[in-house]
Structure 1
Amino acid sequence: MRRVALRAGFVFVLGLGATAFPISAEDTKPTKDPPTTAPDWTGYVFVADVVGEVVKADDKSVTLRITWLEPQQKNGNKNNNRPKLSQNNRNFRNPLQGNTNRQNQVQLKEQHHDYELEYLPQSLVRSKTIPPKLDDKGKKVPHTQKEFDELRAPSGVTGYAANKLDLVPGTILEVYLIRDKSVSAAKATEDDLRIKYAVILGKAPNPPKDAANTGGAKPDDKKKKN
């Protein structure tokens, strides 16, 4: 009986000691393992995929700045309307690529518009390329097969496992947008769009000047859209 009491007391002391030590930066990262199976998207329908630059992000949404390429009218009229994502307009520019417009007869003007896009509980953040692994000297080392399999999980999902904390201002992101099937296309609005996958493509050398790194802070009560 005395031995049991001593063991219980020892466990209690260890528990107190664990709470006394500071938590390292590594421990503050989410430790939830990637899902072993792909999320169920049967209740949703694909709407569009776009590429843009992260202005700010938290655990509930991402504000994405998309650069649209709009043809200039010969009569000089200016068109600065905010394109609808639901139209799946492919006339946007990937910030990681140069201007691909080679046709001199068509003059394109860049227009920037911000969109606040919300996650679903099953939304996943992924990376287009496998994240580098560094040793204690900062040198790149190969991943083990187990690490590679964990980064690729779940099976059937694009890219490699990443985290919402990776979406800092200046991150170039490809976002796959979906909406609930219960909302018809005729009645759907931009507010019905949700993130299926947010795929990290790279990092812009110069983040937006007005970017705000919320660091996981709570989103604003009011959505701000340009």
Structure 2
Amino acid sequence: MHTVAMRAFAALALGLGAVTLPVLAEDPKPKPSNWSGYVFVADVVGEVVKADDKSVTLRITWFEAQNGNNRNSRPRLSQNNRNFRNPYSQNMNRPNQSRTQLKEQHHDYELEYVPESLVRVKTLPVKLDDKGKKVPHDQKEINELRAPGGFPGYAANRSDLTPGTIVEVHLIRDKSVPAAKAGEDDLRVKYAVILGRDPNPPKDIGSGDKDKKKDEKKKN
């Protein structure tokens, strides 16, 4: 009788363990990303040309002064030039036009992710019920969407960066690369914040890197 009772108790204990272990595994504490190995370089606003899990191609509209020597040169992102168009800024980052004539120039940049790179969205995503009706988020959902801390906006996915999406991208480089030797190919995406979408995207959006195609034509 004693042996039977012990076996029953052991079976019950194993059964409880099988129930509680998955519950513990479902709620791990997220590990904060370590950005100590990187240094900030620049932040820019542009329109997504194309994107995948490894990189995003961003089209940036620059305001360039027309001084007679301008040859539609490609601005370097590492210079953190603020003369780019931001349709969601009141002044659109447009420089003072009183003393100089400006012209818009478009250039495409392919920017790679690092494993820690995040995509965020500036405004709280819409939540719909099973009937397609808009419903409010509860506080727990809002807190989850805001995680991890220290980043603007709410959680989004790399797949949300579809052609025509307007994003603000914060760029970094590895600290092991000296500033004097750093080039455009060393830039990486820390995070990209979705600001909105272009209602009338250019016809060639989604067709690839415009500047690379120009270079290929010159070589041929």
Give the TM-score, by structure 2 length: 0.76
Counterparts of 1:153 and 1:181, CA distance in 2 = 26
Counterparts of 1:68 and 1:114, CA distance in 2 = 11
Counterparts of 1:139 and 1:107, CA distance in 2 = 49
* Aligned 8 A contact 1:115 1:225 in 2: no
Matched, 1:86 2:78: yes
Question: 1:92 aligns to what SS in structure 2?
Answer: coil
Q: Give the match for residue 202 of structure 1.
A: 196
Q: CA RMSD in A?
A: 2.4
User: 1:34-58 CA deviation, whole Å, 9 max, x = no partner?
Assistant: x834311000000000000000000
Q: Which amino acid aligns with 1:88?
A: N
User: 1:195-222 CA deviation, whole Å, 9 max, x = no partner?
Assistant: 00011111111123112289xxxxx9xx
Deviation at 1:90, TM superposition (A): 0.5
Counterparts of 1:55 and 1:107, CA distance in 2 = 28
Q: Which amino acid aligns with 2:74?
A: R
Deviates more, 1:36-45 or 1:135-144: 135-144
Counterparts of 1:135 and 1:49, CA distance in 2 = 36
User: 1:72-123 CA deviation, whole Å, 9 max, x = no partner?
Assistant: 11xx333311000000000100144575556333211000000000000110
Q: Give the match for residue 170 of structure 1.
A: 164
Q: Give the match for residue 58 of structure 2.
A: 64
Q: Structure 1 residues 194 and 78, CA, compared in 2 at 3 Å: closer, same or farther?
A: same
Counterparts of 1:180 and 1:101, CA distance in 2 = 31
Which has more helix, going by share of residues? Answer: 2
**Alignment identity in percent?**
72
| Match of residue 42, structure 1, among 36, 39, 52 | 36
Structure 2 unaligned segments of length 5 or more: list them. Answer: 1-26, 215-220
Q: Give the match for residue 53 of structure 1.
A: 47
Q: Structure 1 residues 81 and 102, CA, compared in 2 at 3 Å: closer, same or farther?
A: closer
Question: 2:118 aligns to what SS in structure 1?
Answer: strand
Structure 1 unaligned segments of length 5 or more: list them. Answer: 1-32, 215-219
Counterparts of 2:65 and 2:73, CA distance in 1 = 12
Q: Give the match for residue 139 of structure 2.
A: 145
* Aligned 8 A contact 2:83 2:95 in 1: no
Q: Give the match for residue 6 of structure 2.
A: none
Q: Which amino acid aligns with 2:75?
A: P
Q: Structure 1 residues 176 and 225, CA, compared in 2 at 3 Å: closer, same or farther?
A: farther
Q: Structure 1 residues 204 and 85, CA, compared in 2 at 3 Å: closer, same or farther?
A: same
* Aligned 8 A contact 2:39 2:175 in 1: yes
* Aligned 8 A contact 2:56 2:110 in 1: yes
Greater Rg over alpha carbons, structure: 2
Question: 2:53 aligns to what SS in structure 1?
Answer: coil
Count how many residue pairs are aligned between Structure 1 and Structure 2: 184
Structure 2 matches for 1:1-226, cutoff 5 A?
36-73=30-67, 76-96=68-88, 100=94, 103-212=97-206, 224=212
User: 1:114-155 CA deviation, whole Å, 9 max, x = no partner?
Assistant: 000000011000111111112233332110111111100112
Give the TM-score, by structure 1 length: 0.75
Counterparts of 2:139 and 2:129, CA distance in 1 = 17
Q: Give the match for residue 21 of structure 1.
A: none
